Structure 1
Amino acid sequence: MSGIIRTKLSVMMFLEFFIWGAWFVTMGTYLGKSLQASGTQIGTAYATQSLGAIIAPFIIGLIADKYFPAQKILGILHLAGGGLLWYGTTVSNFEGFYPIILLYMIIYMPTLALVNSVSFKQMANPNKEFPPIRFFGTLGWIIAGTIIGKLAWEQNNTLVLTFKMAAVASIALGLLSFTLPDTPPAKKGQKTTFSEVIGLESIGLLKNRSYLTFFLASVAICVPLAFYYNFTNPFLNEVGMKEAAFKQSWGQWSELIFMAAMPLFFVRLGVKKMLAIGMLTWVVRYVCFAYGNGDANYWMLIAGIVIHGVCYDFFFVTGQLYTDNLAGERFKSAAQGFITLATYGVGMLMGSYISGPIVDSHKTAAGHDWQAIWLIPAGIALGVLVLFLLFFRDKNAIETRPGLDIEEPSAAVQI
């Protein structure tokens, strides 16, 4: 791969996640302060991510993979997405904003798979060449949060600028996409079935009791996960944290650090302990949020943020690798698509619709009873952990390949 292509792919990956990170983290705060949205409405807005994740495989599997070059679809989707994001800044109520963000997420979520397709097509050895390029995606998310925090858009109630910033970046990526190397449709002329699109070919894995336990735990743990993605930024701003979006980006640095250390943990801990530690860390995070504040327990807020690497990597990345090893060569892609659809689609969708009413039910004259709110997802995560420990039996270590070959899910969130 030439230096020019590598640079273009790195910029593509940077912008892909910069766009998402520019508005997603702080949308709850924006909706609450600028559009006077309720917790239920905020949860409904975040549910559009899950709806997009559910629809994305059909756009990729039935359209992109069969008829059009990936880079051109990527360009069209981002140009359209940029226009939608900018238009969203002109509406002044949630009723007008919701259909815009819903349509945007249906457009955006398929691009997560498209940037991977464009990247892999240019690589002779994806195991070694992809991670350095994917790093720029996480960096893009971090830079977006840093800009928002350092420019004090949260404190100044100017978060509408996050959508304008994302819109400009989306248009830039749309234009860049048309200069990317040609990535012709992978399944041109082939017949694609419904079961192939959603990964049902791998459903036989659920006959394995341990994998069924893992699968159900993965869906269930996404319910408390939605509380974090939907309401952490409003919570941190309400309790008085300065530069909240910037400090939340520390979680992505943590993710990178623990990702690099994953092979060492695999060898020493094995599948069951890795997954259990990941779920336990979600409990710890929510307890930290429940008892943290802007004064003496400020350190608990920071701790709840920086353990993100353990929360995400130990459960979701370990789960990807566990699925990959169990599925084998024939069904690995279908299995990754199926688990992604179940977690970030169904699981997160349930979490988004559950979290909003709970936040509303704990509204007070001064804001919210956040301690009571955060103890609910902590309790859910603890319940999932206990059931997982009781029924999961596979204690073997994951077979790791050189370069820690972690497949990127076709439409997953990696935050």
Structure 2
Amino acid sequence: MHIKTRLTILNFLEFFSWGAWLLSAGAYMSTTLGFTGVQIGSVYATLGIASIFMPPVIGIIADRWIPAEKLFGISHLLLAGLFVVLTSMTSFNSFYMVTFLVALVYMPTLALSNSISYYNLEKEGLDSVVTFPPIRVWGTVGFIIAAWLVDVLGLKVSHEQFYLAAAASVLLGGYSFSLPLIPIVKNTSRTLFQRFGLDAFVLFKNKNLAIFLVFSVLLGAALQITNIWGVPFLNDFSISYKDSFVVKHAVFLMSLSQVSEVLFILAIPFFLKRFGIKIVVLISMFAWVFRFGFFGVGSPEGMGLLFLITSMIIYGMAFDFYVISGSLYVDKMSDAKVRSSAQGLFMMMVNGFGAVLGAYISGFVVDYYTANNGIKDWASIWFICAVYALIIGVLFALVFRYKHTGEENLVIKK
């Protein structure tokens, strides 16, 4: 089997496992478990908290001690067990603790999957900027299919969604051990800093990359918000549109965001080579303005429905043009010896500090705009998010200095 096919399977199962619960868990916690906005935000924040320190730590382990593909497989077998345990957790404290363990194990696998892919593509002499996006797109397909299954099977407010995630993790855990061996880097470092793989932080010496990583935190906050509140937002239309398609199939509608990812992932090679990383990231940031803004004016009928669908389409550009392009940019800026560590560092900023910022602040904003009768002022919530995205887009345009030449030679010389 060709390596591109093998990596496609890896990406498909990796994101299937996530798609089985990421969009729908918020509705499950709100409707079935009765958690408040701050509690739901706190649960989702575990993904960010774990991403602050776990991806760099696991990246170091993969670079120095345990081959990345083996560590990836072990992680998913552990995840399968944790998902099963999560199905029986009903109190906030118990649900929070198990979700935190899930986050500790799952979030580093996002960076590991990238480093596994980049290593194997490079080994085959393939250009990762051109070859990786068509492989990664199958991760999005896996996410979509999982979300659709949750919707069709009526699991969006049921604990059974976690069984679906567990099944995917079991398959992926076993499959990972069949992947080509990624050799660890022989540790000949003299300093303690280098010995533990912390030399990935040398990336901060590059001013442009340091700015890029700081904005990864700010944009990471935006990435988290619709994952948490998208389905609860659509469910709340049941107050006035009880029998609408939007309410009955909220997870399906949200998954159209991932459908749009399929198209925009495939467009990344063209945009990166034609315009460079700065323009691609700015497109992403201003796409978030419209993503949130169209949510603010959306509704299940007429032009409102068109706004909702347009928001789903825009999501692919907003997400992919930063997360996927950013991952490729960081890989090009990094020495091969710290590839896994560098990906872990990027994920720490986006899915770590950024996700924590987005989860907690959005939880407080949602509670602030929730009336005593439980009705939320979603328009105000989404417009605040749109203004936030606009501000970080303008700031990035002003402070990130980058001249695109069309001939990327970004690897830091050692």
- After TM superposition, the score normalised by the length of structure 1 is 0.83
**Superposed CA RMSD:** 3.0
Check if 1:248 corresponds to 2:279: no
Paired with 1:66 and 1:267, the residues of 2 have a C-alpha distance of 33
Offset at 1:147? 0.9
* Structure 2: gaps of 5 or more residues: 239-245
Range 378-387 or range 94-103, more displaced: 378-387
Offset at 1:88? 0.7
Paired with 1:186 and 1:332, the residues of 2 have a C-alpha distance of 10
2:49 maps to which of 51, 69, 79:
51
Check if 1:385 corresponds to 2:393: yes
Paired residue for 1:352?
Answer: 359
Paired with 1:390 and 1:117, the residues of 2 have a C-alpha distance of 31
Paired with 1:61 and 1:336, the residues of 2 have a C-alpha distance of 7
1:342-380: CA deviations, max 9, x gaps?
Answer: 222212211111111111121132531111111111111
Contact conserved, 1:226 with 1:355, CA < 8 A, in 2? no
Paired with 1:262 and 1:59, the residues of 2 have a C-alpha distance of 29
Q: CA separation of 1:61/1:269 partners in 2, compared to 1, >3 Å: closer, same or farther?
A: closer
Paired with 2:306 and 2:405, the residues of 1 have a C-alpha distance of 34
Residue type of the alignment partner of 1:292: G
Paired with 2:137 and 2:170, the residues of 1 have a C-alpha distance of 22
Number of equivalenced pairs = 392
2:14 maps to which of 1, 11, 16:
16
SS across alignment from 1:298: helix
Residue type of the alignment partner of 2:285: M
Contact conserved, 2:218 with 2:392, CA < 8 A, in 1? yes
Contact conserved, 1:39 with 1:360, CA < 8 A, in 2? yes
Contact conserved, 2:296 with 2:380, CA < 8 A, in 1? yes
Q: CA separation of 1:379/1:88 partners in 2, compared to 1, >3 Å: closer, same or farther?
A: same
* Structure 1: gaps of 5 or more residues: 406-415
1:257 maps to which of 251, 257, 263:
263
Paired with 1:67 and 1:223, the residues of 2 have a C-alpha distance of 32
Contact conserved, 2:108 with 2:344, CA < 8 A, in 1? no
Paired residue for 2:193?
Answer: 193
Residue type of the alignment partner of 2:380: A
Offset at 1:281? 1.2
Paired with 2:216 and 2:54, the residues of 1 have a C-alpha distance of 20
Q: CA separation of 1:338/1:181 partners in 2, compared to 1, >3 Å: closer, same or farther?
A: closer
Paired residue for 1:41?
Answer: 39
Residue type of the alignment partner of 1:160: H
Q: CA separation of 1:95/1:337 partners in 2, compared to 1, >3 Å: closer, same or farther?
A: closer
SS across alignment from 1:193: helix
Range 248-257 or range 32-41, more displaced: 248-257
Contact conserved, 1:50 with 1:346, CA < 8 A, in 2? yes
Q: CA separation of 1:353/1:12 partners in 2, compared to 1, >3 Å: closer, same or farther?
A: same
Q: CA separation of 1:107/1:322 partners in 2, compared to 1, >3 Å: closer, same or farther?
A: closer
1:147 maps to which of 138, 146, 149:
149
Offset at 1:94? 1.4
Paired with 1:134 and 1:290, the residues of 2 have a C-alpha distance of 30
1:235 maps to which of 233, 236, 243:
233
Residue type of the alignment partner of 1:161: E
Residue type of the alignment partner of 1:139: V
Contact conserved, 1:18 with 1:140, CA < 8 A, in 2? yes
Range 223-232 or range 161-170, more displaced: 223-232
Contact conserved, 1:118 with 1:183, CA < 8 A, in 2? no
Offset at 1:266? 4.2
SS across alignment from 1:199: helix
2:136 maps to which of 134, 137, 140:
134
Offset at 1:277? 2.4
Paired residue for 1:219?
Answer: 217
Paired with 1:388 and 1:58, the residues of 2 have a C-alpha distance of 25
Paired residue for 2:402?
Answer: 394
Paired residue for 1:289?
Answer: 295
Q: CA separation of 1:110/1:275 partners in 2, compared to 1, >3 Å: closer, same or farther?
A: closer
Paired residue for 1:95?
Answer: 93
Paired residue for 2:125?
Answer: 125
Residue type of the alignment partner of 2:200: G
Paired with 2:152 and 2:28, the residues of 1 have a C-alpha distance of 17
Paired with 2:116 and 2:329, the residues of 1 have a C-alpha distance of 26
1:83-142: CA deviations, max 9, x gaps?
Answer: 111111112111111110111111112223444455534851343665554333222111
Q: CA separation of 1:17/1:315 partners in 2, compared to 1, >3 Å: closer, same or farther?
A: closer
